[in-house]
Amino acid sequence: MTERFSHLVWEGRFQPIHRGHLAYIGELLRRTAKLTVVVVANETSAEAGHPSPVPGFSRIVDGHHAGERNPWPLWLRHRMVRATVGAAFPERVPDIQVLVGHRLDLDWPLYQQLLPPERVFAVPSRDDFEDAKAAAWTALGERVVRLDVAHLPAVSGTLVRELMAAGRPLDEVLHPVTLGLLGGTAGTGEVGA
């Protein structure tokens, strides 16, 4: 039997939100009454202005926030996540909250206040980066659930950006709502700036 949770939290960059993200959100929604998705700003620990409560993890995350890996601004990513998740899971919209903000490791006191007290951090079992994330949330005293994602589509933001750069079709990796917000049309592979 699959464990059920009252409130799961998942955070990420969503550069951009893709079908792999949506498949994972579908998994989370099957396991929780409420889901909070946090779209995090692209910033490094040096830019935070205060010490991280998990400095080892912050150093690992900094590499994922390099400029070339993050072409879209926070406001657009937040809009993409809200619109795409709403279109993909219309029946669950009341159960999903999409927040925007600093990386959780760089503004932990704020998130301790904002996130519901019964929260459980959902972290996919995928790679060393996700292992470090789970260890960081645990070090902060948070409950963490690891979810196997081997059966989900193998899509990444890097793959999407590579397909875009090559002018390849994106309808297999992006939801039509995401394509529209990026200025493209489903099936054409054309995405505007």
Q: Which domain holds residue 23?
A: 5-154
**Domain annotation covers residue 177:** no
What is the per-residue pLDDT for 185? 43
Reference 16, options 68, 72, 62, 57; nearest CA is: 72
Domain for residue 167, yes or no? no
Tell whether 189 is covered by a domain: no
* Cα–Cα distance for residue pair 19/123, rounded to 1 Å: 17
Burial class for 102, CB neighbours closer than 10 Å (0-12, 13-18, 19+): middle
The predicted structure's pLDDT at residue 57: 81
As a three-state string, the secondary structure of 17-72 is CCHHHHHHHHHHHHHEEEEEEEEECCCCHHHCCCCCCCHHHHHHHHHHHCHHHCCC
Whether 184 maps to a domain, the answer reads no
pLDDT at 1: 58
Per-residue pLDDT, 13: 92
**Do 99 and 119 form a contact (C-beta atoms < 8 A)?**
no
Tally of domains within the chain: 1
How high is the mean pLDDT in each 10-residue block of the chain (193 residues)?
A: 89 94 96 95 78 81 73 93 96 95 86 90 91 93 93 91 92 94 54 28
In a domain, 53, yes or no: yes
Which pTM was predicted?
A: 0.88
- Give the type of residue at 180: G
Q: Does a structural domain hold residue 61?
A: yes
Nearest by Cα to 20 from 186, 168, 175, 152: 152
CA 127 to chain centre: 15
Token pair of 172, please? 């297999």
Instruction: Identify the pLDDT of residue 80.
Output: 96
CATH code where residue 91 lies: 3.40.50.620
Give a yes or no: residue 185 inside a domain. no
